[in-house]
Homo-oligomer: A and B are copies of this chain.
Amino acid sequence: MGSGLDQLREVLGEVSDLQEAIRVLLWDQETYLPAGGFEGRGAVLSTLGRRAHDLFVSDQVTRQLEAAEAEVSSLDFDSDEASLVRVTRRDQERERRIPSELVGEMAEASTAAAPVWREAREKSDYAMFAPHLARNVELSLRRAEAIGFESRPFDALLFTEPGMTTSQLEVIFVGLKEAIVPLVKKIAAKADAVDASCLQGDFPEGPQLGFVNTVIKSLGYSFEQGRMDISTHPFMIGMNPGDVRLTNRVSRDLLTMAIFGGIHESGHGIYGQGISAALARTPLWEGASNGVHESQSRLYENLIGRSRPFWKHWFGELQALFPKQLAKVDAEGFYRAVNRVAPSLIRVEADEVTYNLHILLRFEIENDLLEGRLRVEDVPDAWNAKMVEYLGVEPPNAAEGSLQDIHWSFAGELASFPAYSLGNLISAQLLAAIRKDLPDLDDQVEAGEFGPLLGWLRERVHRHGRKFTPAELLLRVTGQELDARYWVAYAERKFGELYGLN
């Protein structure tokens, strides 16, 4: 490769180093940072964020991009080099529109909001957090305006899903709502068909966490290139190819929280650990989009982790850890229990069927905030009204309502929720393709052989990192554009069988 590309790689490496430092600091902030450290941390994140931004948008990078573009013009569409240049160009053109002061303000506001969100949620005190949400809306709008949009600010913030628009999302959600609401009603009429009482009880945390770690290791998550800690809200954060970390949380009373939280995050982690190391220290060392990332966590959490063959394999080991607590249930009963459908308050504990309605609610509220139809102080009322309308349940307090998610403490980063629903849809579409190539998938899962699935995902999805847009990737891998009918068919088949609806 010529020297333009080499120089570009070098400076992108420095940008990446600064961003990696930010990620370590964010991980630290959510895991081990002492209470007194939050105040000082904001300035550090702000300085690093501004310096990474300033370097990335510098005229130097613009010139190197131009030189590199000339060098890669003859290369195949899917070469690392050609992708590096086009993705960097796309990112840089967007970031050049965002003033570095705004980047610094976003970092500071996020750091200021984090401990307040934590305390407000503990105290269920929405008024305490409201100013930080207001600041988030303000910064998100300023960011959207800087990036540019035709009529809907949400479009600008959706750059994390290249190619997706707010209107497309609205169409997708209407379709989902039309499929889910009747399904939920049919299930409600047969609610007694599934008994999930075995999931509640007294389950000491240590064995729970040990079990989860055994499971995710067998799925393919490497603890040599990662680790698992405890945080309020579970997350995955990748520092570099050798250091992709997860967090989890655990409830002594509810067996599913740590298990499915852990499997979910491991899906993200396995993706991160599978990105080609050759892409490290470039903008390509990331998932294709948040939605594609979520497709991996959802695939492992739901399509595999809540499948019958999965629990045929793992239930014995779990029962051996909690012989008394799980005495009255077998693998089939446990499989049914972890798939119980019931409208509930907390998104991250929602079942597969109702989950997308939680996202729809947030998508609508964020759009209403950004487009001025909803005031920050009215969010809890709007939230509760929608919960009643879509799910038929009403949060008794803000902690179980509008304060439940950490996301709104990330200032300037509204519009992040739709990725979760996109992830559900993509995961079902991928699974259909996987089943064509691995017709014995269920037998493999039942035998605890997760290697073939991992190999398929590594080869088709993970290693490419951010080289392809979600649409390109989906077309490459499944031969089709995004199609929500895969997920709807999956849900109707699985839950139809579980609840005897057919």
Contacts and interface: CB of A to CB of B under 8 A. Distances in A.
Interface string A218-249: 00001111110100000000011111010000
A44 B28 contact: no
Given A40-B280, A43-B281, A48-B17, A32 B229 contact: yes
A405 interface: no
B25 A44 contact: no
Contacts of A33: 243
A40 B282 CA distance: 13
Interface string A28-69: 100011111111110110111001000000000000000000
A18 to B, nearest CB: 7
A164 interface: no
B21 A240 contact: no
A245 B240 CA distance: 25
A191 interface: no
Contact of A40 (B41, B46, B243): B243
Q: How many copies does the complex hold?
A: 2
Interface in A299-342: none
A280 B40 CA distance: 9
A351 interface: no
Nearest to A48: B21
B281 A36 contact: no
A397 to B, nearest CB: 28
A342 B13 CA distance: 52
Given A14-B47, A41-B243, A281-B43, A25 B36 contact: no
Contact of A242 (B24, B25, B38, B222): B38
Given A25-B24, A51-B51, A17 B44 contact: yes
20 contacts: A17-B44, A17-B47, A18-B48, A18-B51, A20-B40, A21-B25, A21-B44, A24-B25, A24-B44, A32-B32, A33-B243, A34-B223, A34-B224, A35-B225, A36-B225, A37-B225, A37-B242, A39-B240, A40-B241, A41-B243
Interface of A: 13-14, 17-18, 20-21, 24-25, 28, 32-41, 43-44, 46-48, 51, 222-227, 229, 239-243, 245, 280-281
